[in-house]
Structure 1
Amino acid sequence: MLSLESIQGPADLRALSPEQAGLLAPRIRQLLVDTVTRTGGHLGPNLGVVELSIALHRVFESPRDRILWDTGHQAYVHKILTGRAGALATLRQAGGLSGYPSRKESEHDVIENSHASTVLSWADGLARAQGIQGVVDRAVVAVIGDGALTGGMAWEALNNIGAAADRPVIIVLNDNTRSYAPTIGAFADHLALLRGPGAPKALFESLGLAYLGPVDGHDITSLEAALRRAAGLGRPVLVHCVTEKGRGHTPAEQDEMDRCHAVRGRSTGKASGDGSRSWTSVFGGELAELGASRPDIVAITAAMLAPTGLGEFARRYPDRTIDVGIAEQHAVTAAAGLALGGMHPVVALYATFLNRAFDQLLLDTALHRAPVTFVLDRAGVTGDDGASHNGMWDMSLLQLVPGLRLAAPRDAATLRRALREAVAVHDGPTAVRFPKGSTGGDIPAVGTIAGIDVLRRGGGEDVLIVSLGAMAGTCLEVADRLTRHGFGVTVVDPRWVKPVAPALVELGLNHRLVATVEDNGRAGGAGSAIAQALSDAGAATPVRTFGIPQHFLEHGTRADLLAGAGLSAQHLARALAEILFGREIEELEHQPLVAVEQHSG
């Protein structure tokens, strides 16, 4: 019997008869369901592209022909067909397969594409390079979903691809009517017309592309015929494939919200024990409550309504909830326009996606002092989603924005407080950032100093630890370890990390050493801003900033990645002891030293 393990590469797939190729589809779906429900990952998108992936690898000769995926979370079947079926059980696990294309995994993974709407620009550049070099026997195939085509960058690329009749880019449109949730907007309406009877002339033909379709995306024979025809045209062409997200898995087919877009791995049976909620749900509940007393609040999402916690707000206030599609740049400038019109927009994004709209944040929002609140989920280390989804740049980027105020709450209580304070600001942008996962138990302050929360009062003035955001629990453990060895340690949480509070500078002046701890990149982060503020005040106090090294992190658990970055309590305590006294704490003497940035006044 034909097994998936016998497919060690696309050549094995091309050697099969059409009937044999068709028999692979249900086996691939079963493998996906069995594996991804255990490991966690993007199940629905991959169930929808099984036949399409088979057809692509039977028609084109990867890696000679370049098959590019947008977004890469729909490439699990591609991984299976390129010899990685046996490794799928390690998906998103430390040392295992990435949840996105990974060039170090396989020569068939051309680009590491995990943010949407970029693949057409990649394809345009590759095709241009081949044209300049006189290469005529290699295809460039870009697979993009209808949801990703709501992003502006995709249309910038289409504008260029369609203008060159001799540049044979093959665009495969995987039209499943969804991004995370149903695709919205005028373009989605146009695709709906194309799928219906008596379809009008496709917009794509007006842009200079040949249009083939719509094609049944679950009929391998029809797909292969359309793809071969596209390859023979020698010009830019779009093949419109209609697929069903989550196909073949009843829970996905019956889920009208996201069709099992992403599923969590099976529970280990271990409970946190604190009964805490997720950061996302705490934010979502608080925003919905604020909406009742603040009719000017408008929520904006870039095709991620439920994942960013806006579901309850949307249910209560549908007229004040806006989904712009996968278009972060538009979301931010549109928010500035809403603010100009008297509203207070709350833009909810994953932290790593704000990178895409930095110009709009800087010049359209901050320059105009627009009262827009940015809520950044998945800040810091997210773990199993991999390098592109770790939100380790937000506090560094936001430090560059004049007039922006940034909060990093440590727990559910301070998140609620920060959100209320943020939407009360009327003279400029604000941001509230928090990590993925559970909030854990609340960490009460033992006192306050000019708005700065004191989490622990030291028995001396050896070390001031400035805990930034969700690192509070770790910082308190560091203080316990150092105190047991005779050091006087004070732990504070400024809550609002930008601008640096004058009272925090005063505290720093009264200690022998200031240490900042954040789950953000060290370069230009909140710790660097605190060190600069102390330096500007003429402080001689040395400052040590602890954070994430400036390199792309592999996928793994948040705890493991933080420990690998030297942000465990054990590593931090040892590093601080050595800085203070030039000697090691005995219980940590076999641990490697953590890398830190050092500043002195």
Structure 2
Amino acid sequence: MKLLDKIQFPKDLRQLKKDELPQVANELRKFIIDIVSVKEGHLGASLGVVELTIALHYIFNTPKDKLVWDVGHQAYGHKILTGRKDIFTTNRQLGGISGFPNRKESEYDDFGTGHSSTAISAVLGMAIASKLKGNPHRNHIAVVGDASIASGMAFEGLNHAGVTDANILVVLNDNAIGIDPSVGALKKYLTNVKKGTAKDENIFECLNFDYSGPIDGHDLPLLLQELERLKSVSGPKLLHIITTKGKGLQKAEENQVVYHAPGRFDRLTGELQKKPDSELPPKYQDVFGHTLVELARKNKNIVGITPAMPTGSSLKFLMDGIPDRAFDVGIAEQHAVTLAAGMATQGLIPFCNVYSTFLQRAYDQIIHDVALQKLPVIFCLDRAGLVGQDGATHHGVFDIAYLRCIPNLIIFAPMNECELRNIMYSAQLGLDRPIAIRYPRGRGVTMDWRTSFQKIEIGVSVEVKKGTKIAVLSIGHIGNLVKKIIAELPDSEKIGHYNMRFIKPMDTKQLHHIFTHYSRVITIEDGCKIGGFGSSIADFANENDYSTKIDILGIDDRFIEHGTIDQLQGIVGLDGASIKRHINETLNEL
């Protein structure tokens, strides 16, 4: 019988002898590989912390002792050992367990994580609460990667913790990579620590942490010994461990960027099982990346900035082609935005490329440092809309609402790849204010997308099709689905379709035409309804005394969990069948 078969919860793990734990590690690693190879998900990070996961649950009395995994995409082993082994096949599937720690899911998930660098602050808050509530000896552990600990928020937590007597342990999981390789001066410092060439003063000791390490994070006996020792050390502590992302699967160790989340692969060889995509339309991120290089070769003032996502955003094309004009600033969205603002004051044209969900982390900087000063920063928001199996922490559904209220900011959503190219081209010709360009995860609709550039006039929409009764106003990529649906309807001549493109400024001329020529208006967006695109159309109608009924199709006032994009679109009513049904019902009413 496998040892892993005996383990449902950490109390079962603690019944084993210490010399049995390496076998558990081998079985746990194989269990993760077998399931992720078929179900997909985050692979490399979880493989890299198998020994640490076992050691933490063996030494500490979880869930009474509090354990927080920063980001959380490395917590698959944790989930398997804390009561979810038998349902781990549902990981990231509709109705199944989340790919990240989730307080609703298990008492062992002490804090919900999905964005990086929050664990130290959360654990410090728990430790202070424990002391105030008369439980000062409870242990509080944060597992933080070397890419995440370089973030400003992580240092804010370290800075505060260092002047407290809080009983916290920060485990610095140093594998020299986040999704892409770690960057910055702190990475160089940690490399020097590992080589023994760092300066005499230790940065963490200077912040009043009891520092130990670096030690081999795959040496289970050594991990157990050091964690046991640290249990009796009071105050803030930091254990520096060295691990290999993708440990135990050769392909994942050799290509850590790809195997962060590789999709399906052969569980024995590690070979990827992706279908050839030469006959498919391109990903929007690649259109962005290639177009940026094309524009940068012609315009020496163009620069590209990304907070730690060069591969995921395809800014890597510029990093490879014109490396001195491409900047990966690490997990530092606030810094990325204000860096871009500083560059813009000096005549550079910064393309600041951030996932929609991560730009939320730099909201003050967008307002205070960019929009207030009318600096022409070009924000390119990848992964806008529903993103699928990463779930609620990663859906880019709030960007229209949180950006629309900011003065001086243009907001554009391309319907296809050519519109993305053309708005990028138009923006770098010279704007007097910032612009946010939002586009979805996944592929577009056009094979021959490398068309010659055409300037897009700010605030001008496109009439896709004339109609007589109903005007459907779409924004962004979902307009392609709308176009297809309308063409299939028997009464399609009654339905007009407008690709509005600009959420701000609105095409008021077109809107006046729509509200005076149609009996009903339907707006469709892949974002939240409250404060979103449809809300802006309703505001326009109200301000101009139009009484036309407006139906707003979008995402209701709730968080959407994980599932495929198609499944989630069905749940929120943005799939083809739901949209078609709504249009038909509206026609019948009229």
Relative to the length of structure 1, the TM-score reads 0.92
Deviations 1:557-592 (A, max 9, x none): 111111111112332333344445548xxxxxxxxx
1:457/1:579 Cα in 2 relative to 1: closer, same or farther (>3 Å)? closer
Report the CA distance between 1:474 and its aligned residue. 2.4
Structure 1 residues 501-547: Cα deviation after superposition (integer angstroms, max 9, x where no partner): 12221222221111110000001111111221222222222222110
Give yes or no for contact 1:498–1:526 (8 Å, CA) kept in 2: no
Aligned equivalents of 1:542, 1:137: Cα separation in 2: 61
Structure 2 partner of 1:528: 535
Determine the C-alpha separation between the residues in 2 that align with 1:580 and 1:362: 42
Unaligned runs of 5+ in 2: 266-271, 450-455
Task: Encode CA deviations 1:331-389: one digit per residue, 9 max, x unaligned.
Answer: 00111001011111111111100101011001100111111111111110001001110
For 2:287, which of 282, 289, 292 is the aligned residue? 282
Question: In 2, are the aligned partners of 1:378 and 1:390 still within 8 Å (CA)?
Answer: yes
> How many Å separate the matches in 1 of 2:274 and 2:59?
45
Mapping of 1:402-551 within 5 angstroms? 402-441=407-446, 451-458=460-467, 460=468, 462-480=469-487, 483-485=489-491, 488-509=494-515, 510-551=517-558
Distance 1:193 1:442 in 2: 48
CA contact (8 A) 2:127 2:136 kept: no
Contact 2:92 2:99 in 1 (8 A): yes
Q: Aligned partners of 2:276, 2:554: CA distance in 1, in Å?
A: 28
What pairs with 1:77-156 in structure 2 (closer than 5 Å)? 77-156=77-156
Checking the alignment, whether the CA contact within 8 Å between 1:246 and 1:259 is kept in structure 2 is no
Secondary structure of 1:454's counterpart equals strand
Q: Report if the CA contact (8 A) 2:137-2:167 is conserved.
A: no
How big is the shift at 1:273?
Answer: 10
Deviations 1:112-158 (A, max 9, x none): 10100111110111111111111134211111111001110111111
Q: Any idea what the Cα deviations from partners look like across 1:15-56, whole Å, max 9, x if unmatched?
A: 111121111112222222222122221111111101011100
Corresponding residue number in structure 1 for 2:577: 570
Aligned 1:256-275 pairs, distance under 5 A? 258=257, 260-265=259-264, 275=280
Helix, strand or coil at the partner of 1:155? helix
Partner Cα separation in structure 1 for residue 554 and residue 273 of structure 2: 29
Q: Which runs of 4+ in 1 moved over 6 A?
A: 267-274
In structure 2, how many angstroms separate the alpha carbons of the residues matched to 1:415 and 1:314? 20
SS, match of residue 180 in structure 1? coil
Give 3-state SS (helix, strand or coil) of 1:86's partner: coil
Indicate the residue corresponding to 1:586 in structure 2: none
Q: What is the CA–CA distance in structure 1 between the aligned matches of 2:221 and 2:279, rounded to whole Å?
A: 54
- For 1:240, the aligned partner's letter is H
Q: Match of 1:88, as an amino acid?
A: F
2:460–2:502 CA contact under 8 A, matched in 1? no
* Cα pair distance change 1:104/1:271, threshold 3 Å: farther
CA contact (8 A) 1:371 1:426 kept: yes
| Range moving further from structure 2, 146-155 or 245-254 | 245-254
Q: What corresponds to 2:563 in structure 1? A: 556
Query: What amino acid is aligned across from residue 181 of structure 1 in structure 2?
Result: D
- Structure 2 vs 1, CA of residues 269 and 138 (structure 1 numbering), >3 Å: closer, same or farther? closer
Contact 2:280/2:447, CA 8 A, preserved across alignment: no
Query: Is the alpha carbon distance of 1:154 and 1:25 closer, same or farther for their aligned partners in structure 2, counting shifts above 3 Å?
Result: same
For residue 487 of structure 1, report the CA deviation from its aligned partner. Answer: 6.5
Residue 242 of structure 1 deviates from its aligned partner by 1.0
CA distance in 1 between partners of 2:587 and 2:313 (Å)? 42
SS in 1 for 2:393: helix
Deviations 1:176-195 (A, max 9, x none): 11111221112112211221
Cα distance in 2 between the residues matched to 1:545 and 1:442: 31
Following the alignment from structure 2 to structure 1, what is the Cα–Cα distance between the partners of residues 166 and 96?
Answer: 37
Deviates more, 1:258-267 or 1:428-437: 258-267
Q: Does 1:351 pair with 2:356?
A: yes
Instruction: Report SS of the residue matched to 1:348.
Output: strand
Give the distance between the partners of 1:452 and 1:198, measured in 2 at CA.
Answer: 59
In structure 2, distance between residues paired with 1:519 and 1:198: 51
* C-alpha distance in structure 1 between counterparts of 2:305 and 2:584, whole Å: 46
The more displaced of 18-27 and 343-352 is 18-27
Call closer, same or farther: CA 1:542–1:270 in 2, change over 3 Å: farther
The superposition leaves residues 209-231 of structure 1 with CA deviations (integer Å, 9 ceiling, x where unpaired) of: 11111111001111111112211
In the TM superposition, what is the alpha-carbon distance from 1:167 to its structure 2 partner?
A: 1.0
> Which residue in the other structure is 2:10 paired with?
10
Distance 1:249 1:134 in 2: 45
Instruction: Look up the SS of the partner of 2:19 in the other structure.
Output: helix
1:497 Cα deviation after fit: 2.2
- The Cα shift of 1:303 comes to 0.8
Change (3 A) 1:156 1:273: closer
Distance in 2, Cα, partners of 1:441 & 1:486: 24
| 1:67 aligned partner | 67
**Distance verdict in 2 for CA 1:535–1:425, change over 3 Å:** farther
Q: Which amino acid aligns with 2:391?
A: G
Contact 1:514 1:541 in 2 (8 A): yes
1:382 equivalent to 2:387? Answer yes
Identity of aligned residues (%): 38
RMSD (CA atoms): 2.2
Contact 2:263–2:274 (CA<8 Å) still a contact in 1? Answer: no
Alignment of 1:27-426 (within 5 A): 27-164=27-164, 166-197=165-196, 199=198, 200-255=200-255, 258=257, 260-265=259-264, 275-426=280-431
Task: Judge conservation of contact 1:90–1:97 (CA < 8 Å) in 2.
Answer: yes
> What is the alpha-carbon distance in structure 2 between the residues aligned to residue 183 and residue 349 of structure 1?
17
Deviation at 1:485, TM superposition (A): 4.3
Gaps of at least 5 residues in structure 1 are 584-601
Shift of 1:412: 1.4
Note the C-alpha offset of 1:274: 6.4
Shift, 1:271, TM fit:
8.6
The answer to whether the 8 Å contact 1:411/1:442 transfers is: no
Rounded Cα–Cα distance in structure 2 between residues aligned with 1:466 and 1:569: 15
User: One-letter code of the match for 1:197?
Assistant: G
Q: TM-score, normalised by structure 2?
A: 0.93
What is the deviation of 1:442?
7.1
